[in-house]
Amino acid sequence: MGKLMRRLSTQEPNFKQDFADLLAFETVSDPELLKTVDQIIADVRHHGDAHVLKLTQQFDRHPAHQFSDLELSQVQLKAAFEGLSTEVREALEMAADRIRSFHEAQKQDGWTYIDALGNTLGQKVTPLDRVGIYVPGGLASYPSSVLMNAVPAHVAGVKEIIMVVPAPNGELNPLVLAAAHLAGVHRVFTIGGAQAVAALAYGTETIPQVDKITGPGNRFVAAAKRAVFGQVGIDMIAGPSEILVYAEGENNAKWLAMDLLSQAEHDTVAQAVFITPDEQLLNDVAQAIEEHLEALPKAEIARTSIANRGALILVKDRAEGEALINQVAPEHLMLCLDEAEQMSEQIRHAGAIFMGRYTPEAIGDYCAGPNHVLPTSGTARFSSPLGVYDFQKRSSLIMCSEQGVKSLAKTADILAQQENLDAHARSARYRYK
Amino acid sequence: MGKLMRRLSTQEPNFKQDFADLLAFETVSDPELLKTVDQIIADVRHHGDAHVLKLTQQFDRHPAHQFSDLELSQVQLKAAFEGLSTEVREALEMAADRIRSFHEAQKQDGWTYIDALGNTLGQKVTPLDRVGIYVPGGLASYPSSVLMNAVPAHVAGVKEIIMVVPAPNGELNPLVLAAAHLAGVHRVFTIGGAQAVAALAYGTETIPQVDKITGPGNRFVAAAKRAVFGQVGIDMIAGPSEILVYAEGENNAKWLAMDLLSQAEHDTVAQAVFITPDEQLLNDVAQAIEEHLEALPKAEIARTSIANRGALILVKDRAEGEALINQVAPEHLMLCLDEAEQMSEQIRHAGAIFMGRYTPEAIGDYCAGPNHVLPTSGTARFSSPLGVYDFQKRSSLIMCSEQGVKSLAKTADILAQQENLDAHARSARYRYK
């Protein structure tokens, strides 16, 4: 028992290389895929609704006869919501309420100030007009993803939220529609893939052009989002899910093992990493993982993920653990020790930090409040969870007085001359001479 | 006189189409260029310093013999700063001080709160560890760009700022080096193009790998930034510069004409648009532009820009002007009227808004304080000026108490079961059962 998962120790001579190998994961950009995606985008731009309908019939085997069959009505969304059991409806409502409360705290306001010269400077904050949220279909069609994308957009003040969700064979998870109702999504189209991204980015006869596209998807969706970036905003290019659990002291190995498996069950390339200075706990977690796998419905996926990308890492002390965590910049980080808050202060890079023994990552996926769309593959080094700030943007404000502009205009004049930008210099000069 | 620039009026039957044509500008993605850039990135990843040196010798005709010749010392930067005339040094210092003050106001702090259940939720804000700033070389090598990229990174708390600037024939603008000294840039390499972007994104023997790359560049740089996006963060893909001036009431046509030309002189594809409900002012501005062009050193560039992409637009009233501005989402917007502040409240999309008759756009390029790296080509619909927020990122914080987790864990359990994620459900269940 306990042999399934790779074990590393910082004391081994090859640790540095082994650890680098563990983290190495690069989505190979497949030139054929990029070509296909570029062609789909070009065709959707050219042929609009007709091409989106055709591809949806072809790829999703959707029984739609005309484009209007691909739009769901608000009545359908409401009916799905009302069809939920009380237990599920209340759970969804609690999740939406908590997500809304947390994201309200993220909302940014503009500001202005008057400088010593009497000029007004500031920053105006405005919501995006219209956004598209991509919700994966089929197996990975999650109502929680609808809430996590739509609620922050709502809180930001976005006036129109367009959701796309593929419906393979015309089938949809009613909970996804219920969540769309609860989150106040304005329009829903049952389309997906690169064609849905293209339709949102450029608009068709029926689908309005949006300003930003958020939400995860398969590699066609990821490639399409990259291709339309600039035409519209995008949130991020999502990679496989990851969890890193650091534990010390009193801990229940079964709990920690299940926390690790909750990411491993997502995807065969998901990554679950356990770090501890406690060798006994490491052995116990290794064994508990294999015991849990015996009884887990998604054991096959989880086993592959654990075997190929998982690791149990023994460190000398907490400081070594902190250094490894900052190197990984994990999507989800659990700190299971008494001094979790203190340790979190040493963490520079992580999507979300779950502290203490009573904070399983799974509650963050649904109802803790913070967003579950998080930076993966080490991108927490430079990016943030999806948030209200993704649906707001800023404009600088500058208003000079007739007196206040004089010294600024003189400085601009001098520097513009140095840059050989004569019209700049003259335009400034008019205001002080 | 006054015939050079296209004229439109909202009263004309074809206005809608003509206006759409005016805004249509798409950088055609050239498959050959993309292939070249992909090859450069692959070669830099594989061969490191040696390949960067080779391409720098080849493309920039740089006389360097070894890679170390491509790094500038802090002594060289300081010497450049000390070699400035008093007038220029003071102008640069004033600009840096004002840019720093404005950006200090953008700095974000983390927060936490305790919810009704006794759980702690929050958002941690951390600076990026290391960033790369790209400064164009040759004609467009601007000291102001150094300040606008490096100062916000500094304010954010970035520990290491690496600057790259190509030096064609080994020649550099000393003001660019002086600005790097003033802004506290940590290392400077005289490299450029896709090879510089690749080196920053993946690191070489000498160049440290960064977490984000900001700053404008030519189409090779833009394509390389798009290609490495995800490996590192990037700010935006910059397009040609734009200005939109709206004027009403008492105005000096010569001033407005020079403000329009200050963008037109940047680039033959830069865009200068003037909107007014005052036909006499429109005629006066048209004439003043042509008069100014007689005496402008960069008249040839500006004339082409004005003739090909410029426009003078007559509107019925201010409301029409506001609607057009929101449709354009201009990089730079000047509102030259008594009620500029009031009008600015109706503007949803603009990079920077310059209000009143004493606020020429040129002061924003140098020393007003706000950033001059702004969203172009209508991307102000979804993006913001470069700012301190580009050099900070967030991590969610969640810490539940033993009691506080119970209802959350139950909700997560219910929803996870609906999503068929059994390990999620069990991991949550452990905490409340």
User: Judged by CB atoms within 8 Å, which residues 32-71 of B form the interface with A?
Assistant: none
Q: Which of B178, B162, B172, B148 is nearest to B56 (CA)?
A: B172
The CA distance from B145 to B173, in Å, is 12
Q: Are residues B172 and B247 in the same domain?
A: no
8 A C-beta contact, residue A274 and residue A311: yes
The verdict on a CB contact (< 8 Å) between A359 and B409 is no
8 A C-beta contact, residue B369 and residue B98: yes
Q: Are residues A229 and A247 in the same domain?
A: no
The verdict on a CB contact (< 8 Å) between B229 and A229 is yes
- Helix, strand, or coil (residue A243): strand
Q: Are residues B372 and B405 in the same domain?
A: no
Q: Is residue A219 part of a domain?
A: yes
Q: Is residue A185 part of a domain?
A: yes
User: Judged by CB atoms within 8 Å, which residues 279-308 of A form the interface with B?
Assistant: 292, 296-298, 302
> Cβ contacts of residue A133 below 8 Å, gap of 6+?
A146, A149, A150, A153, A161, A162, A163, A164, A185, A213, A214, A215
B100–chain A Cβ distance below 8 A for any pair: no
Q: Are residues A43 and A60 in the same domain?
A: yes
Tell me if residue A332 is catalytic: yes
- At B122-162, the pLDDT tens digits run 999 999 999 999 998 865 678 999 999 999 999 999 999 99
How close B312 comes to chain A (CA, Å)? 19
The verdict on a CB contact (< 8 Å) between B366 and A264 is no
Q: Are residues B228 and B310 in the same domain?
A: no
User: Judged by CB atoms within 8 Å, which residues 74-93 of A form the interface with B?
Assistant: 87-88, 91-92
Q: What is the pLDDT of residue A34?
A: 87
Q: Is residue A390 part of a domain?
A: no
Q: Domain boundary residue among A359, A374, A392?
A: A359
- Give the residues of chain A that fall short of pLDDT 70: 1-2, 26-29, 138-140
Which residue in the list A331, A349, A361, A372 is annotated as catalytic? A331
Q: Are residues A115 and A210 in the same domain?
A: yes
B266 appears as a binding residue in the annotation:
yes
The CA distances from residue A289 to A9, A103, A296, A405, in Å, are 19, 34, 10, 68
Predicted confidence (pLDDT) at residue B16 exceeds the cutoff of 70: yes
Percent of chain B with pLDDT over 70: 98
Q: Which residues of B touch A420 (CB under 8 A)?
A: 139, 297-298
H or E element at residue B242: strand B242-247
Look at phi and psi of residue B31 and say left if phi exceeds 0, alpha if psi is from -120 to 50, else beta.
alpha
Q: What is the pLDDT of residue B256?
A: 98
CA B270 to chain centre: 15
Q: Is residue A378 part of a domain?
A: no
Q: Are residues A317 and A197 in the same domain?
A: no
Q: Is residue A263 part of a domain?
A: yes
Average pLDDT, integer, range B219-235: 92
Q: Domain boundary residue among A234, A266, A281?
A: A234
Reading the block at residue B196, the tokens are 């510089």
Q: Are residues A257 and A295 in the same domain?
A: yes
Q: Which residues of A touch B121 (CB under 8 A)?
A: 102, 368-370
The verdict on a CB contact (< 8 Å) between B361 and A144 is no
CA A62 to chain centre: 28
Q: Which residues of A touch B105 (CB under 8 A)?
A: 111, 113, 123
The DSSP result for B254-309, as a single string, is HHHHHHHHHHHTT-TT-EEEEEES-HHHHHHHHHHHHHHHHT-TTHHHHHHHHHHH
Pick A399's closest partner by Cβ from B254, B340, B379.
Answer: B340
Q: Domain boundary residue among B195, B217, B234?
A: B234
Q: Which residues of B touch A146 (CB under 8 A)?
A: none
Pick B430's closest partner by Cβ from A258, A353, A381.
Answer: A258
> Cβ contacts of residue B242 below 8 Å, gap of 6+?
B263, B270, B271, B272, B273, B328, B330, B331, B332, B376, B377
Average pLDDT, integer, range B62-68: 95
Instruction: Identify the CATH number of the domain in which residue B157 sits.
Output: 3.40.50.1980
Q: Are residues A330 and A411 in the same domain?
A: no
Q: Are residues B198 and B250 in the same domain?
A: no
Q: Which residues of A touch B261 (CB under 8 A)?
A: 423, 427
**ipTM attached to this prediction:** 0.96
Optimal mutation site among B86, B344, B363, B407, interface A, most CBs of chain A within 10 A: B363
Q: Is residue A122 part of a domain?
A: yes
Q: Are residues B155 and B294 in the same domain?
A: no
User: Judged by CB atoms within 8 Å, which residues 355-414 of A form the interface with B?
Assistant: 355-356, 358-371, 374-375, 377, 379-385, 387, 389, 393-402, 404-405, 407-412, 414
Q: What is the mean pLDDT of chain B?
A: 95
- At A261-277, the pLDDT tens digits run 999 999 999 999 999 99
Owning domain of residue A353: 7-24+243-359
Q: Are residues B188 and B264 in the same domain?
A: no
pLDDT band at B27 (very low <50, low <70, confident <90, very high): low
Q: Is residue A288 part of a domain?
A: yes
pLDDT band at B414 (very low <50, low <70, confident <90, very high): very high
Counted domains in chain B: 3
Q: What is the pLDDT of residue B248?
A: 97
